[in-house]
Amino acid sequence: METAPIVRVVTSSLFEENAYLISLAKDGDCIVVDPGLDADLIVEQLQAAGLNPVAILNTHGHGDHIAGNELLKQTWPDAPLIIGAGDAWKLTDPAGNLSAEFGMPMVSPPADQTVSEGDVLEFAGIRWTVLETPGHSRGHVVFVAKELSPMIVLGGDVLFAGSVGRSDLADGDHETLLDSIRTKLFPLPDNTVVLPGHGPPTTVGHERRTNPFLKSM
């Protein structure tokens, strides 16, 4: 695919979580990835840009990544809400999505569709392949646009610039997280762009060479 996507980012103030608005044109259809706590800002940016969300993708079910689901579904009810099968239950469980633990219990609408390893989605002109990447969350998935050049990974809380996701939460596991990175992300081309749930973008090659948590791999 020769057309480079337009990636807009809305970073929530409380947990500095990145929500991504991705489209192939300045206006028209887009996807929204991990809408966070500042959902009103996401809606404002979508409307100001003339964008129409045709899908809402959640990489995992933690509260800071799903808090905006409700407002987006209210505003664009036809956009399916999609999450990995293993984390779908967390959408409607404040304990499971950890929002109760932080004193702000919240729920999301339930998933319209769940996905698993190898599933392929096509929205707004871009095909996304689902990879299961547990470790930060048992049901965590990433979405890979393999037909773009460079490839893009919607990475959630798996691999960060110079770091990795937390593994000390309820269903996290550090070795599982590192294995997910090693077996699912590191085989991708060096120039693959990772759009993480927190912090700046990075590339697979850069993290393979320099990430202090992964140098031994």
Reported as type and span, the H/E element at residue 194 is strand 193-196
Q: What are the structural domains, with CATH classification, of the chain?
A: 6-210 (3.60.15.10)
Segment 129-143 shows an average pLDDT of 98
Cβ contact 169:124 at 8 Å:
no
CA dist., res. 161 & res. 47, Å (int):
30
Concatenate the DSSP letters of all residues of 10-47 into one string: EE-TTT-BEEEEEESSSSEEEEEES--S-HHHHHHHHH
CA dist., res. 63 & res. 92, Å (int):
10
Our CA angle for 202, 204, 207, nearest 5°, is 70
Q: Classify residue 192 by its DSSP letter.
A: P
Segment 80-94 shows an average pLDDT of 98
Q: Which residues lie across from 114 on neighbouring strands? A: 83
Q: pLDDT tens, 144-159? A: 999 999 999 999 999 9
Q: Is the pLDDT of residue 3 over 80?
A: no
Beta strands in 3-158 (DSSP E): 6-11, 18-23, 28-33, 51-58, 81-84, 113-115, 120-123, 126-132, 141-145, 152-156
- Give me the pLDDT at residue 102, please: 80
Segment 77-98 shows an average pLDDT of 97
- Give me the pLDDT at residue 217, please: 47
